[in-house]
Amino acid sequence: MNSVAEFRIYKNMISFFRLAHRFKRGMIEIISDAPDDILDKYLDPTQTEKLPESVKFKVAAGKKEYDIIRHHQNWQAFYSQRIIDVLSSFVDMSDKCYPVNIDGVDKRYYVIYNLETYPFWNKDETVSMRDDPYIFGVQDKSIPIFGIDDTGYVIVSESVKDALLKSKISNINLNETFGCSLEEYKIIKDGNFTPDIHIYEDK
């Protein structure tokens, strides 16, 4: 494969964005008495079953009810009604989210689940999302939201990214990732192309 063809494939890679919090100071962090293996299973955005209703949460740290909060000292995130409303303008979220019970918190937060799942082509070769391009097996830029196999990531399209930023969602980090076919990824890898990574955050 010549360099012109490699560059063409690189330029045709689709930009997507990981939806995450940005560890903003004072962010509410919540905990539960449920075992970690239960939380890890049911709070995965690609899980098709809901968290058991018996699982309750309480505040472990922070006081600020930002639009994205997290499980205390863990990877799971919870999303405000404002975020669900933005996502709902692109896709029916009725079977992709449900509220959780958080003692002492007035704002309603949701778990995102039941997302279509795609593979992570270069998972074994990446160190940091801010430094290395994460490349996924997604070729349709119109898909608004999806998950990545065995990661816990929630990924959104560029259009959704723009809508979230326009809505001034708080405590948001949108880190650029890329989609292409496995064949295209192999060509990019062999050609040592490294795309620039763009990161968007609230102020």
The DSSP secondary structure of 104-132, one letter per residue, reads T--S-EEEE----EE-BTTGGG-S-TTTS
Interval 95-110 mean pLDDT: 95
DSSP conformational letter for 149: T
Average pLDDT, the chain: 91
The 3-state DSSP class for residue 90 equals: coil
Cα separation, 51 vs 48, in Å, equals 10
- Express as a percent the part of the chain with pLDDT over 70: 95
Name the pTM for this structure. 0.92
Give me the torsion for CA of 177, 180, 184, 187, rounded to 10°: 0
pLDDT single digits (tens) 4-63: 555 555 667 899 999 999 999 999 999 999 998 999 999 999 999 999 989 999 999 999
